[in-house]
Each structure stands twice: as C-alpha cells, then as structure tokens.
C-alpha cells in the first residue's frame, strides 16, 4: 500500500515547521522546544542583552589579562627600560571594556550591535597604539604613525556613543 504525500511548496524542517512559509510564533517555538518556561519577546531581548554584556566582560577581562602579561614579559626583557605606555597597556581593555560592560549589565542596557562594534574597535585601536608606542619607547625610537592611534581610537569611541544615543532616542520596534 503506497502512501502519497502532498508536496509542499516550502521545504519542511525536521520538526515539521515549514521553512519560508508560515512560521510559528515565538511562544509556540518555545513551547515546542519543551523549555517549560515561556519568555515574552521583551524578556528574550533583555536576557540576550545581559548575556552579551557578560560575554563582553569576559572578553575584555581576558584581553586586559593578556595585555598585562605581555607588558610584564616584554618589560622583563627590556634591560631596565620602562615605558608608561607599556605599563598601562592593560588599562585600556579594563577601564574602557570591563567597566562599561559591567555598568550596561547592571542597568540592563541594550547596546546596539553597531555601537558595540565601534566601541570594541576604539578600545582595540587605543590598546594597539599604546602597545606600539611602548615598544618604540623601549626600543629608543619614535614614529609619526604612532600619533594617529590616540585620535582614531577616541573618534571611534565618540562615534559609538553617538550611535547608541541616537538608537536610544528611537522607539523600540519590538
């Protein structure tokens, strides 16, 4: 006995949900997943924002630790020559990364992806510029290119702040 299945215009997902056709609502998906705990769309966004903040705290903390270790090892082999830029290398990801991410987590702020990426680029630019300046100072030379890192990093941080403040003025779409 042959069973004939009606061909659907949309491919079927393994759980029976049609892809590209009618999609289940968020609560149906959660109920279908068997989570037992239903979250509204706003709660899901708030929870996602908190986990992103904690991920940022971990990443910036790891970067701060790595920069501190790099600075310690590099200055250990510098034959007594020290550089303030190298000593404070760990401070950029710590002060500009961990602290704002913790504040965003505590106030439950939702940071836009663009603002988060611009901020990360600004912190990275300042950190790399500090490292390069420290290396060149320890080596005993200078370069005009090192002067570009500080203003570029600050511009990226200001741009991230402007993008986030413009996002906060708009009404949420959820």
pLDDT band at 9 (very low <50, low <70, confident <90, very high): low
End-to-end CA distance of the chain: 50
Phi, psi (deg, nearest 5) at residue 12: -95, 135
The confidence band for 7, taking pLDDT boundaries of 50, 70 and 90, is: low
Does the pTM of the predicted model rise above 0.75?
Answer: no
Q: What is the dihedral of CA 28, 29, 31, 36, to 10 degrees?
A: -140
Using the predicted structure, report yes or no on whether residue 142 has a pLDDT greater than 80. Answer: yes
The average pLDDT across 3-32 equals: 49
| Higher-scoring residue by pLDDT: 71, 53 | 71
Helices (H), the chain: 26-33, 41-76, 84-87, 91-93, 99-106, 113-139, 149-169
């Amino acid at each position: 006995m042959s069973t004939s299945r009606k061909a659907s215009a949309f491919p079927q997902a393994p759980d029976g949900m049609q892809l590209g056709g009618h999609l289940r609502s968020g609560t149906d998906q959660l109920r279908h997943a068997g989570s037992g705990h239903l979250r509204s769309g706003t709660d899901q966004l708030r929870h996602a924002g908190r986990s992103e903040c904690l991920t940022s705290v971990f990443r910036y903390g790891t970067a701060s630790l790595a920069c501190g270790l790099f600075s310690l090892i590099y200055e250990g082999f510098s034959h007594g020559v020290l550089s303030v830029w190298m000593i404070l290398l760990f401070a950029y990801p710590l002060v500009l990364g961990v602290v704002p991410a913790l504040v965003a987590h505590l106030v439950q702020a939702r940071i836009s992806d663009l603002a988060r990426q611009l901020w990360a680029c600004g912190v990275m630019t300042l950190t790399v510029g500090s490292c390069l300046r420290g290396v060149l100072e320890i080596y005993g030379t200078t370069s005009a290119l090192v002067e570009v890192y500080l203003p570029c990093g600050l511009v990226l941080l200001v741009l991230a702040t402007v993008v986030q403040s413009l996002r906060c003025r708009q009404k949420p779409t959820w």
